[in-house]
Chain A
């Protein structure tokens, strides 16, 4: 592999990693507040559909993004209502949302567009276009450093830059602001917050709004930046991988980014590895290679994570009592 190949591989890794990063950060807000969010997948899927459908109908990708965020926030609020007000089982509520999204997107797609569940293809101006950083073409002539600038740093959609920006932003919010302090506290010991006179429910609602917004962006990225339409089950488990990455990162933003990038690299190399002859083994079936990122998820979670210390109050409905 030449340096250029590696740069290209990393470039596509970033594209694979971005929706994971957004979803993992989304999950971070929810889980840090003490609400298990297994419904990241469903919210992304709902968001992806809303973005593609809205962009196709209105011709505006920004309206599409707004719709994605709106739909995802509404789904997140359903989860909040079930988990916070009705003290329901958060796993069940999340699974239900996933089913709801899987069914509804296809159903509405059929009803509205009659294309077998997909939305119409978006024209380039109806999608998030790639942004060329200044002088990308000129600097790109310089070997390696220039190529990194042109290929790896430049030429992504705005959502990619947003996702990378959200990592330090989340870290800052989490560790340096009042909201972050309370968010971390409410996931560990909601009583401590309640007795300090802060509403546990309100705080968790606010966290889940953020979760909804970020999942919406992740969904919009899939259907209007990476892809050009919505297709059935287009998230294909990314929400779950993001959740795994979040756990592997022990609910910390920077670590979540690195884990998502690692999954991104695996997904990208998976495509390159298809059809390659391995020494001694020969050609490995495509399916086995495609399974690599998922196998890695299992291996990482089972073997390398060490002691994961989840937020202590995670999954437990808060009941005010003595």
Chain B
């Protein structure tokens, strides 16, 4: 049972004799044959924001899980505030003042904010008094750190940014002095991310120590004081942020120079391939999500759809890919009307040459329990390439899968491996390879690089551009504005289900910011 303690910001620094809040020495951890962490040294100064960067699978999360007591290290020492400790479990870590804000929020959706915050740190058996106490404490934390959330709101009604604040409040309520944030901006819009950074800075100024795990260099540069770089389970360097550059960090991360900008020639758009007219889509409870949207995509161009997540982009994708019938409007591919008739519409859309890389590869793109080759043909399994008549030929399918593994540099190079055992970036490549390596006219891509490491991002971007140059019409939806701007030839901005404006990818940050907030920059403000 974790006793709730008041979060007096200065408390631990007075008590301790070390300038480091956290000091890891030669920490190692292996999972079977995989060495996730190798002799890691990491010293985190008190009252600082310390970034840890590395590609997916570099061992960042494992290291933090050791610090948070989710895993125990095989060897090495952990010093917290100058004291050698053995962290047994997460409640022990909490007692030591280490709090974690997980990448996937650990919140109970149908609970109120208050209930979530006291969960596990309730104190007395009856809730009434602990709730009252928590409410008071919450008001104090809100004023001290600028973390405003309605304590009685249900989590399911909150935005992702607000949910994250609840996670931070949860840790603070438990008396955390060291906050670990695991990929905190993966789900946030740029504005929300900036707000988060302000909060983190305020927390640091009030005496907290922040460890920020990310693979986004922009964030490291924007908010950290110190940055440590991990690569393949090893710590390859710790630098003062002001003395480094994104290019240097990227090089350390992947061990070679990477292009942060995408090289591409100007588009040479030809005929209209995808033509959307007056499209309206409602969700399953009848709320309009897409409102009278019209646009087209020509062969040989990439049209990006930018916008804050949840403004209808996902619903638009679902309609165009044939997964959901629109309420009104029509979609034409090469002049031919896409007809919606129940569950076959998605495969019909594919037959018309529409390839779809869904936004959420785990929910919609892959069956993770399948072997790689099975996912590699999923949706196209009736093709003659994979068998004859009604019979599937694993031999033929595996041969094709191997070819694609080669082409898309999917690792490990084993089509018989269970898909769940591939890293996020490689899973994404499996989906992309399946959708791209065939005859297609339109490619619809949702969040192509979500949760994917830098090396793979570069690779995926290059492939999308190549496809465009081959004369394919590409519709790209991403919440990463940088990605939209780097790849697209034209950008449509969606807000509240409508296309607010069309911008050139070279338009200013301000113009994008305004239009993503629903204001047409051409009209004023």
Contact of B65 among A189, A312, A322 (CB under 8 A): A322
> B106, A191: Cβ atoms under 8 Å?
yes
Contact yes or no, B122 A192, CB < 8 A: no
B390 at the interface (CB under 8 A from A): no
Residues of A within 8 A of B109 (CB): 188-189, 312
Evaluate contact between A192 and B107: CB separation under 8 angstroms. Answer: yes
Report yes or no: A189 in contact with B61, Cβ–Cβ below 8 A.
no
User: Would you call A194 and B90 a contact (CB within 8 A)?
Assistant: yes
Determine if A196 and B126 form an interchain contact, defined as CB atoms under 8 angstroms apart: no
The interface centre, meaning the residue of A189, A191, A192, A195 with most chain B CB atoms within 10 A of its CB, is: A195
Please give the distance in Å from B295's CB to the nearest CB on chain A.
35
From A181, A309, A312, A322, B119 is in contact (CB under 8 Å) with A181
Residue count of chain A within 8 Å CB distance of chain B: 24
Which of B2, B116, B119 neighbours the largest number of chain A CB atoms within 10 Å of its CB?
B119
**Does B111 contact A196, Cβ atoms closer than 8 Å?**
no
Is there contact, CB below 8 Å, between A179 and B100?
no
The complex places the Cα of A193 from the Cα of B108 at a distance, in Å, of: 9
A196 touches B119 (CB 8 A): yes
Kindly state the separation between the CA atoms of A173 and B61 in the bound complex, as whole angstroms.
37
Does B223 lie at the interface of the complex (its beta carbon under 8 Å from any beta carbon of A)? Answer: no
CA distance A182 to B108 in the complex (A): 10
* 0 or 1 for each of B62-92: is its CB under 8 Å from A? (1 = yes): 1001000010000000000000000001111
A206 lies within 8 A of chain B by Cβ = no
Interface flag for A177 (CB, 8 Å): yes
Q: Is B523 an interface residue (CB 8 A)?
A: no
Which residues of A have CB within 8 Å of B108? 184-185, 188-189, 192
- From A175, A182, A184, A189, B107 is in contact (CB under 8 Å) with A189
**Chain B 285-298 per-residue mask, 1 if CB under 8 angstroms from chain A, else 0:** 00000000000000
Interface assignment of B407: CB less than 8 Å from any CB of chain A: no
- Contact of B124 with A by CB under 8 A: yes
- Complex interface bits, A294-322 against B, C-beta within 8 A gives 1, otherwise 0: 00000000000000010010000000101
Using an 8 Å CB-CB cutoff, how does the interface string of A63-91 with B read, 1 for contact, 0 for none? 00000000000000000000000000000
Given A188-B108, A189-B108, decide whether A197 and B120 contact each other with a Cβ distance below 8 A: yes
- 8 Å CB contacts to A: which residues of B43-74? 61-62, 65, 70
Instruction: Return the CB mask of A159-189 against B: 1 if under 8 Å, else 0.
Output: 0000000000000000111111110110011
* A198 at interface, CB cutoff 8 A: yes
Which one of A177, A193, A195 contacts B127 once the chains associate, using CB atoms below 8 Å?
Answer: A177
B72 to chain A, nearest CB (A): 13
Contacts of A192 in B (CB 8 A): 106-108, 116, 119
Contact B61 A322 (CB under 8 A): yes
A181–B106 contact, CB under 8 A? no
| B2: A residues at CB distance < 8 A | 196-197
Residue of B nearest to A311 (CB): B110
B119 and A182 contact, CB distance less than 8 A:
yes
* Chain B residues whose CB sits within 8 angstroms of the CB of A194 once the complex forms: 90, 106
Given the interface contacts A197-B89, A322-B61, does A189 sit within 8 Å of B106 by beta carbon? Answer: yes
Contacts of A322 in B (CB 8 A): 61-62, 65, 70
Quick check: is B115 within 8 A (CB to CB) of the other chain? yes
Q: Is B391 an interface residue (CB 8 A)?
A: no
- In the bound complex, residues from chain B placing their C-beta under 8 Å from that of A179 are 125
Which of B91, B110, B123 contacts A188 (CB under 8 A)?
B110
Query: Counting CB contacts under 8 A, is B118 at the interface?
Result: yes
In Å, the complex CA distance between A189 and B156 comes to 13
Interface residues on B, range: 20 to 34
B200 lies within 8 A of chain A by Cβ = no
A178 partner residues in chain B, CB cutoff 8 A: 122-127, 130
Docked pose: A194 CA to B111 CA in angstroms: 16
The distance from the CB of A70 to the nearest CB of chain B, in whole angstroms, is: 26
In the complex, the answer to whether A188 meets B120 with C-beta atoms within 8 Å is no
Query: Closest Cβ of chain B: how far from A31's Cβ, in Å?
Result: 15
A170 to B41, alpha carbons, bound, how many Å?
A: 51
B102: CB under 8 A from chain A?
Answer: yes
Q: Which residues of B contact A184 (CB under 8 A)?
A: 108, 111
Report the separation of the CA atoms of residues A192 and B163 in the bound assembly, to the nearest whole angstrom: 13
Are B120 and A176 neighbours in the complex by a CB distance under 8 Å?
no
| Min CB–CB distance B86 → chain A (angstroms) | 16
By a CB distance below 8 angstroms, the chain B residues around A188 are: 108-111
Say whether B507 faces chain A, with CB atoms less than 8 Å apart. no
Contact of B525 with A by CB under 8 A: no
- Give chain A residues whose Cβ lies under 8 Å from the Cβ of B170: 196
- Bound complex: CA A175 to CA B100 (Å): 27
CB distance from B151 to the nearest CB of A (A): 15
Closest to B123 in A: A178
The chain B residue sitting closest to A185, CB to CB, is B108
Of chain B, the residue at the smallest CB distance from A197 is: B91
**CB–CB B122/A181 < 8 A:** yes
- Is B119 in contact with A185, judged by CB distance below 8 angstroms? yes
Q: Is B91's CB under 8 angstroms from A181's CB?
A: no
Q: Which of B114-142 contact A (CB under 8 A)?
A: 115-116, 118-128, 130
Q: Does B94 contact A (CB under 8 A)?
A: yes
Task: Give the nearest-CB partner of A180 in chain B.
Answer: B127
| Chain B min CB distance to A34 (Å) | 12
Q: Which of B342-377 contact A (CB under 8 A)?
A: none
Q: Which residues of A contact B100 (CB under 8 A)?
A: 195
Chain B residues, Cβ within 8 Å of A197:
2, 89-92, 94, 120
Q: What is the distance, in angstroms, from A252's C-beta to the closest C-beta of chain B?
A: 12
The one of B70, B102, B110, B127 that contacts A176, using a Cβ cutoff of 8 Å: B127
Q: Is the CB of A177 within 8 A of B90?
A: no
A195 touches B115 (CB 8 A): no
- Give min CB distance, A320 to chain B, whole Å: 8
Contact status B126-A176, CB under 8 Å: yes
Collect the chain B residues with CB atoms within 8 Å of residue A320's CB: 70
Expressed in whole angstroms, the Cα–Cα distance for A189 and B120 within the complex equals: 13
Query: Which partner residue on chain A sits nearest B285 by CB separation?
Result: A307
Q: Shortest distance in angstroms between B244's beta carbon and chain A's nearest beta carbon?
A: 29
Q: Which residues of A contact B118 (CB under 8 A)?
A: 181
Interface centre among B116, B120, B126 (most CB of A within 10 A): B120
Point out the residues of chain A lying under 8 angstroms from B65, CB to CB: 322
Whole-angstrom distance between the alpha carbons of A312 and B102 in the complex?
19
Which residue of chain B is the closest to A187 with respect to CB atoms? B108
- Smallest Cβ-Cβ distance to B182: which chain A residue: A322
Q: Report Cα–Cα, A322/B29, bound state, in Å.
A: 14
Q: Inside 8 A of A182's CB, which chain B residues have their CB?
A: 119-120
With CB as the reference atom, state the residue of chain A lying closest to B69: A197
Inter-chain CA distance A185–B2, complex, in Å, is 17
**Complex Cα gap A115–B361 (Å):** 62
6 A-B pairs (CB sep. < 8 Å): A180-B127, A184-B111, A185-B111, A188-B108, A196-B120, A322-B62
* Shortest beta-carbon contacts, A-B, top 7: A197-B91, A196-B120, A192-B106, A178-B122, A195-B106, A188-B108, A185-B108
* A181-B119, A189-B108, A192-B108 given; 13 more Cβ-contact pairs under 8 Å: A177-B127, A178-B127, A178-B130, A181-B118, A188-B111, A193-B119, A194-B106, A195-B102, A196-B2, A196-B106, A312-B109, A322-B62, A322-B65
